[in-house]
A and B are shown apart, each in its own frame.
Chain A
Amino acid sequence: CTGDLDTDPRVEQTIDNILDEDPDAYKGMLAKIYSAFILTGQETSGQTDVVAPDAGASSYIRNYWNFQELTTDEALNRWGDGGLDALNRLNWTAGNNFVRILYDRIYLEVAMANNFLRETQGIEDEEIQDFRNEARFLRALAYWHAIDMFGNVPFVTENDPVGNFEPPRYTREALFNYVENELLEIIPLMKDPGTNEYARADRVAAWMLISKLYLNAEVYIGEPRYSEALTYLDNIVRESGYSLEPDYQNLFLADNDNSREIILPLASDGLRSQSYGGTTYIIHAGISNSTMNPSDFGVNGGWEGNRTTSAFVDLFGNLETNGDRRALFHTEGHIKENTDYTAFNNGYAIAKFKNITASGDMGSDTSGEFVDTDFPLFRLADAYLMYAEAVVRGGTGGDLSTALDLVNQLRERAYGDTSGNIGSAALTLDFILDERGRELYWEGHRRTDLIRFGKFTGNTYLWPWKGATLGGSAVESFRTLLPIPLTDLGVNSNLVQNPGY
């Protein structure tokens, strides 16, 4: 009877079984690697990919968003639980639960991409080759997040085994070089601009990623690479085939998949792609039942979590007189100040992301629980502002007049006319940082931006509750990197904690 010890799985299946049953199985495996950036598991709120206390809070993009937004002037969260307060106050420790989830999510993404590359090795099929290139792109994307957030981290590729080994530590520079080389290798292999299916990465997405790597190179490896950034940003501006969405608000609505501006979305669907992370979180958590009407947002209720700070509101000057339509604040019933940040109405709410379509209809989930709104991970306006910044920072291969034109295209869209346009003298680094805030707020860029402009730590820029005081106070510079989570330090002896922690 000892032969019976080889039991057969039937619900979970081996790859051979899946391939027998589903001709699209490889595509489904690739879809998993994409979906793991936003969804939480193999059920709406069960079978989570990573072990975490709460399914919704385990979402990759939700945690990425929290660390990019709650740690800055753009958002404050009032829940305070499970270590979330530390993000508002910039005083997290290596034991912080959310630091861990973000880190674990990044490495699950890397591990799943590696697994896909192993399983598809040697398959000549052209479509599989496309899948493989995209898997490498997605791994590079996750590694970029590791470079940006954690710096010196474990390194694994498809050449490593599964289980029972301790990955070696790569310095931030070594990982930078690896990701750069990967991207340089796959850029020519990626599908031509605009030719891939919606929600899959094409060459433009890879250009975007390598541009971000180069734009931040001075932070990452202490070496300016603005000219290289411009090489790819110039491609995006001239050859991408993507175009600005005429109405700014439409970029954040339930039917934003119609937009030609979004280069790479993280897709969400109220019926078929559900989770409590992603845009379902961003929309619900930004709403209060008492000061706002959830049905205006196409959802069934607010979670009363995130608002913005007075410092961010000030980027728009006087809201009464400013004609910038990007200032999508909900002010009724709220005060601008963040005096008691545990009270939802202390601070303006943000009415940018909604689960209603451009024509005013609610998303596909009529119960208003899950949203259709896709998360715009990369979009063209970001590339325009990056182009301008790289030029102003002295990169070669671009020019100031193009930079000014690109910025003014965004200003014209924002103001509906040329009244907000600026001249070349106004195109300063400070202006670009503020403009990035106004254009890209709540889209998961702010922390990286503030660090690149030297304002995340120290006292050159203060906002409410930075450094755990209402008026804001200086924060030590080591906080530009997150700590390596204690959980990984404890099991991987190759790792070294980042300085300061």
Chain B
Amino acid sequence: QTTVHGTVTDHSGPLPGVNVVIKGTTTGTTTDFDGNYSIEAASGDILVFSYIGYRTSEKTVSGNTLDIILEEDTQQLDEVVLIGYGQVKKKDATGSVTTVKSDDFNNGMVVSPDQLIAGKTAGVQITSSGGEPGAGANIRIRGGASLNASNDPLIVIDGVPVDKEGIAGVSNPLNIVNPNDIESFTVLKDASAAAIYGSRASNGVIIITTKKGSSGEVQFNYNAKTSVSTVTRTVDAFSADSFRNLVQNYGSDAQQALLGNYHTNWQDIIFRDAISFDQNFSAKGQLFGNTPFRASVGYTEQDGILKTSSLERWTGSFGITPRFFDNHLKVDINVKGILSNSRFGDTGAIGSAILMNPTNPVYDSSLPFGGYYEDFTNGNVETLAPRNPLGLLKQRNNTGDVKRSVGNIELDYKLHFLPELRAHANFGYDISTGERNDRVSEEAAGYYRNGTGYGHLETESQNKRNLLMDLYLNYSKSYENSFITNLDVTAGHSYQSFTNSGFKNNYDYINDQVIVTRYYNPVVIASFFGRANVSIKDKYLLTATLRRDGSSRFDPDVRWGNFPSAAFAWNMYNEPWLENSATLSNLKLRMGWGITGQQDLPGRYFPYLSVYLAGTPQVQYPFGDNYYTTYRPNPYSNSLTWEETTTYNAGLDYGFFDNRITGAVDIYYRKTKDLLSEVSTPAGSNLSNVFVDNVGTMENKGLEFEINATAIETDTFSWNLGANFTWNRSEVTGLNADTDFISVQDRNITGGTGLFNQVHAVGETPYSFYVYEQVYDADGKPVENVFVDRNGDGVVDDNDRYIHKSALPDVYYGFTSQFRYKKWDLNMVFRGQAGNYVYNNIDSNVGIRNGVFTSSTFLTNIVENYNETGFVQATDQVRLSDYYIQNASFLRLDNITLGYNAGRFLGNSFSARIYGSVQNVFTVTGYDGLDPEVQNGNDYNIYPRPRTFLLGLSVDF
């Protein structure tokens, strides 16, 4: 017998409370707070290390020390998953629910929460809107169920559904929570899981849970990251020399005289390598001996690759979970706060940098524009010429300062006389204020009029208040050896109000006046809900939910909607004929049905009421000598009502080889009726030409597949692989309109006026491109302004446009790989899409020769696509050629991280991990533009996504 001692850790630090038992005996011990243990054992004994949530590990004693790293077991069957207003054991879950925990989050310079899970789960597509610090993200679950109503999922943070619209001065509304404070994301994808959120669940629900306190002594964590971001590629605008050539060949004498002698690469002028820092400090443990708490502070400083754009952010969080009355009353209090100061670089500079004449200088101190060169003729600024891109950035100071806090107090009381019954109350808030200050210098050419520079100032002050109250009762009881083995019933009431109010001041220096615009946008949702979970013989699970929601957006007569769901699951693995299978370790069949709703109409708060909007003082109308404020009646409709989505889902959860391979397959079919959409009103029937209406039906169907496998698992080496794959097809199946007619046009393009290139048409994917069919010559070169006369009537006009591809992908997927060798780890995340098309709006707007020569007093640049097409004249038809619709399928290595676990130092009281990562490593695509990942299918003026190199350190003590 010798004394064996050692330390048990996981990847983030020491593990206290791990059971260490000599195999085959009852002799054992547990690790202390620092993860240390010592046990009397003989050489050759096998030590079994086990800990909830971790894979059990066995080691043979062969000396006095034995350190071990435990692997987390994310697929444990006793794991609980969150569902709305409660939780269930994973084995009892009936819906399509995916959870991603903090250990699986993406690494790198992650400033906003959505980036943590990009590429991690089937059915969830996350597209950042660009490379701007704190940029917003577009999250789509199963492709989105709506047309013009919001397609964003409902996001619930610690029980509080949050407002997903931004606030003045913050571009990403999800930036409420420091990613370092997040414990898990739970995605409720199908209706049976999400229907408890009723009217707001059509596009799925994402439940974000923040990290909580723990038992034991106080532990601290400090982590710091620093990164450098660089531009990967710029638009191929003509160089000064080729531009000079072009103008000399095709320009008039006057235009040739406008050529300068400079070689300016305007894109190089506006971009930079940007450095960022991120630091977080957290403490968790017990206060007052027995009350778990967690507190954290974070500080982020991020510069954008576009000069002048930056973000500075402080975050803080505090959570405490006291227990009272012998644990009968559980209290959970969470408060999070954020202070962020952003400066937004004028993204118009990106377009200007492409268009600006490259033979012009950057600076010209002889002009009245603060040293910047601008096109200036006879004392007038060329208002139609592109502005100096650097001037746009440097002469504008557009800042946003936001204070936001979200928090809740949850009371959960287990009745003393009937402990199966719990009364639960949750009071939450999400309150923010935003101040935006947008000042343009008096020297800026954009506000130079008739010999005077005026400058510009616009300020905005916004207050948002979101208050929540949930009250419910839950009865839960297990029965041994009976037909019904578990019963869980919940019923409750929820009330939530959102108020968004504020005002904008536009200082018109030219005429010395202030233009004030106010807004006041309240939304109230009141709900009643209930759920029953029944488990029969531990094998058959039934869930039924019902929610009744009322929305302030609709007329009292049509305000309320009912949203039921039902689901059945069969734990096949618990059947005797499978229970002893050597290969199979889990098999569960799930089937669900449900109806969810949608009432979120961006920008419409009283669509059922007859209201008037007063005009500003600049749009009065004179009668005689007096000017009168005008009052405009706004359009309304008292029959507007809920959009309803019916979802059917069938899925199979599986596990093989003791759950070394796990995963799920789901198929779904979803049909939405009464689609809320902004559509043409019959002329004369309403007070505008376009208004929201319940217009049609849409279908989504899809297949999701997820697999996670532990390919190799030894003491020194492990390799985990994950893959997810989603195929989705969305189709508009009906519009309240002539079916052979394209009635809903959407998304206008840059260039021309009022040109829309995407439509919703019956039988087609939403946002299909609607274009002319290009004719090509024998060499495969497009013939300018020649299109196929598709209807054969001898002329090419509107009637020859056709549906051609869509911006929505057919398939999206993600791969993850995690290697570990001794103390080293290497993680990779790949993400991709296929079948999505992009309209190359840069080529169509800036790739045509006459774009250079629109004026006789200034010149604008074009891009090299002209060399391929030779297009001279930009007509509407040329702009709408299908030539510009390009396949934008891609595979991106989003993130690669190499880490080293330094273990303990300084007398074992510290442990550390250092790591380096690269984000946006490479992209494989056939798309010609800068980046194939374009949010709405029209590629123009996008803030490029940078490549980011990062070094990080995490210390526990």
A interface vs B, CB < 8 Å? 1-2, 4-15, 18, 22, 24-25, 27-29, 31-32, 34-36, 39, 41-44, 47, 49-54, 57, 79-85, 91, 93-97, 100, 103-104, 106-108, 110-112, 114-115, 153-156, 160, 162-167, 197-200, 267, 269, 271-275, 289-290, 293-295, 300-301, 303-304, 342, 345, 365-369, 486-493
B754 contact from A4, A97, A163, Cβ within 8 A: A97
The answer on a CB contact under 8 Å between A293 and B681 is: no
Q: Which residues of A contact B232 (CB under 8 A)?
A: none
Contact with A along B483-525 (1 / 0, CB 8 A): 0000000000001010001000000001101010111101110
Q: Which residues of A contact B454 (CB under 8 A)?
A: 367
Q: Which residues of B contact A163 (CB under 8 A)?
A: 635-639, 681, 685-686, 691
B609 contact from A9, A80, A84, A93, Cβ within 8 A: A9
The answer on a CB contact under 8 Å between A14 and B556 is: no
Q: A42-B632, A43-B615 are in contact. Are A304 and B855 (CB under 8 A)?
A: yes
B511 contact from A156, A301, A367, Cβ within 8 A: A367
The answer on a CB contact under 8 Å between A490 and B680 is: yes
Measured CA separation A166–B682 after assembly (Å): 6
The answer on a CB contact under 8 Å between B683 and A167 is: yes
Q: Which residues of B contact A367 (CB under 8 A)?
A: 449-450, 452, 454, 510-511
Measured CA separation A96–B756 after assembly (Å): 12
Measured CA separation A164–B511 after assembly (Å): 43
The answer on a CB contact under 8 Å between A274 and B635 is: no
Nearest-neighbour CB distance to chain B for A486, whole angstroms, equals 6
B62 within 8 A of A: no
B327 within 8 A of A: no
Most buried by B among A9, A293, A491: A491
Chain B residues 600-646 with CB under 8 Å of chain A are: 605-606, 609-625, 627-639
Q: A110-B684, A162-B636 are in contact. Are A290 and B856 (CB under 8 A)?
A: yes
The answer on a CB contact under 8 Å between B633 and A115 is: yes
The answer on a CB contact under 8 Å between A5 and B753 is: no
Measured CA separation A274–B618 after assembly (Å): 6
The answer on a CB contact under 8 Å between B753 and A272 is: no
The answer on a CB contact under 8 Å between B619 and A41 is: yes
The answer on a CB contact under 8 Å between B377 and A43 is: no
The majority secondary structure among interface residues of chain B is loop
Q: Which residues of A contact B378 (CB under 8 A)?
A: 289, 293
Most buried by B among A5, A9, A11, A492: A5
B679 within 8 A of A: yes
The answer on a CB contact under 8 Å between B551 and A5 is: yes
Measured CA separation A367–B497 after assembly (Å): 45
Measured CA separation A220–B384 after assembly (Å): 42
B737 contact from A198, A269, A491, Cβ within 8 A: A491
B688 contact from A49, A198, A274, A303, Cβ within 8 A: A49
Q: Which residues of B contact A10 (CB under 8 A)?
A: 501, 520
The answer on a CB contact under 8 Å between B754 and A54 is: yes
User: Which residue on chain B has the smallest CB distance to residue A84?
Assistant: B753
Measured CA separation A84–B857 after assembly (Å): 24
Known: A35-B630, A163-B691, A365-B511. 17 other contacts (CB 8 A): A4-B495, A5-B552, A5-B556, A11-B520, A27-B623, A44-B619, A83-B876, A103-B683, A108-B689, A153-B683, A164-B685, A166-B685, A272-B627, A367-B452, A486-B743, A486-B798, A490-B680
Contact with A along B646-673 (1 / 0, CB 8 A): 0000000000000000000000000000
B478 within 8 A of A: no
The answer on a CB contact under 8 Å between A34 and B552 is: no
The answer on a CB contact under 8 Å between B798 and A300 is: no
B interface vs A, CB < 8 Å? 254, 377-378, 380-384, 449-450, 452, 454, 469, 495, 497, 501, 510-511, 513, 515, 517-520, 522-524, 526, 550-552, 556, 559, 605-606, 609-625, 627-639, 678-691, 693, 736-738, 741-743, 748, 751-755, 795, 797-799, 850, 855-857, 873, 875-876
The answer on a CB contact under 8 Å between A82 and B738 is: no
The answer on a CB contact under 8 Å between A93 and B797 is: yes
Q: A28-B628, A31-B630, A162-B610 are in contact. Are A267 and B621 (CB under 8 A)?
A: yes
User: Which residue on chain B has the smallest CB distance to residue A83?
Assistant: B876
The answer on a CB contact under 8 Å between B631 and A32 is: yes
B876 contact from A54, A80, A369, A490, Cβ within 8 A: A80
The answer on a CB contact under 8 Å between A273 and B621 is: yes
Nearest-neighbour CB distance to chain A for B283, whole angstroms, equals 38
The answer on a CB contact under 8 Å between A7 and B605 is: yes
The answer on a CB contact under 8 Å between B627 and A273 is: yes
Q: A28-B629, A108-B688 are in contact. Are A13 and B616 (CB under 8 A)?
A: no
Q: Which residues of B contact A269 (CB under 8 A)?
A: 620, 622, 627
Q: Which residues of B contact A108 (CB under 8 A)?
A: 687-689
User: Which residue on chain B has the smallest CB distance to residue A150?
Assistant: B683
Q: A110-B684, A271-B511, A489-B741 are in contact. Are A53 and B753 (CB under 8 A)?
A: yes
B797 contact from A50, A91, A274, Cβ within 8 A: A91
8 interchain residue pairs of minimum CB distance: A53-B754, A197-B624, A82-B753, A95-B798, A163-B637, A104-B689, A156-B684, A107-B683
A-B contact pairs, 14 of them (CB 8 A): A5-B552, A8-B522, A9-B611, A44-B619, A51-B690, A84-B753, A91-B795, A95-B798, A155-B684, A198-B622, A267-B622, A289-B380, A301-B380, A368-B450
Nearest-neighbour CB distance to chain B for A44, whole angstroms, equals 5
Nearest-neighbour CB distance to chain A for B671, whole angstroms, equals 23
The majority secondary structure among interface residues of chain A is loop
The answer on a CB contact under 8 Å between A85 and B621 is: no
The answer on a CB contact under 8 Å between A4 and B622 is: no
Most buried by A among B623, B691, B737: B623
Nearest-neighbour CB distance to chain B for A63, whole angstroms, equals 12
Nearest-neighbour CB distance to chain A for B529, whole angstroms, equals 14
Nearest-neighbour CB distance to chain B for A341, whole angstroms, equals 12
A42 contact from B524, B614, B681, Cβ within 8 A: B614
Q: Which residues of B contact A44 (CB under 8 A)?
A: 515, 616, 618-619
Nearest-neighbour CB distance to chain B for A330, whole angstroms, equals 15
The answer on a CB contact under 8 Å between B689 and A107 is: yes
Nearest-neighbour CB distance to chain A for B561, whole angstroms, equals 12
Q: Which residues of A contact B377 (CB under 8 A)?
A: 289-290
Measured CA separation A165–B40 after assembly (Å): 87
Most buried by B among A96, A273, A290, A487: A487
The answer on a CB contact under 8 Å between B630 and A42 is: yes
Most buried by B among A50, A53, A111, A114: A111
The answer on a CB contact under 8 Å between A273 and B622 is: yes
Q: Which residues of A contact B620 (CB under 8 A)?
A: 31, 35, 269, 272-273
The answer on a CB contact under 8 Å between B685 and A9 is: no
User: Which residue on chain A has the smallest CB distance to residue B639?
Assistant: A164
The answer on a CB contact under 8 Å between A4 and B623 is: no
The answer on a CB contact under 8 Å between A289 and B748 is: no
Measured CA separation A111–B630 after assembly (Å): 16
Q: Which residues of B contact A5 (CB under 8 A)?
A: 524, 526, 550-552, 556, 559
User: Which residue on chain A has the smallest CB distance to residue B510?
Assistant: A367
The answer on a CB contact under 8 Å between A43 and B517 is: yes
Q: A85-B875, A167-B684 are in contact. Are A42 and B552 (CB under 8 A)?
A: no
Q: Which residues of A contact B738 (CB under 8 A)?
A: 489-490, 493
The answer on a CB contact under 8 Å between B684 and A9 is: no
Q: A5-B550, A12-B613, A43-B517 are in contact. Are A486 and B753 (CB under 8 A)?
A: no
User: Which residue on chain B has the smallest CB distance to residue A487?
Assistant: B680
Most buried by A among B469, B510, B857: B510
Q: Which residues of B contact A1 (CB under 8 A)?
A: 469, 495, 524, 526
Measured CA separation A308–B689 after assembly (Å): 32
The answer on a CB contact under 8 Å between A112 and B687 is: yes
User: Which residue on chain B has the smallest CB distance to residue A374?
Assistant: B622
Most buried by A among B452, B631, B693, B737: B631
B682 contact from A97, A165, A304, Cβ within 8 A: A165
Measured CA separation A18–B741 after assembly (Å): 41
Measured CA separation A162–B681 after assembly (Å): 11
Q: Which residues of A contact B751 (CB under 8 A)?
A: 81
Q: Which residues of A contact B681 (CB under 8 A)?
A: 163, 491
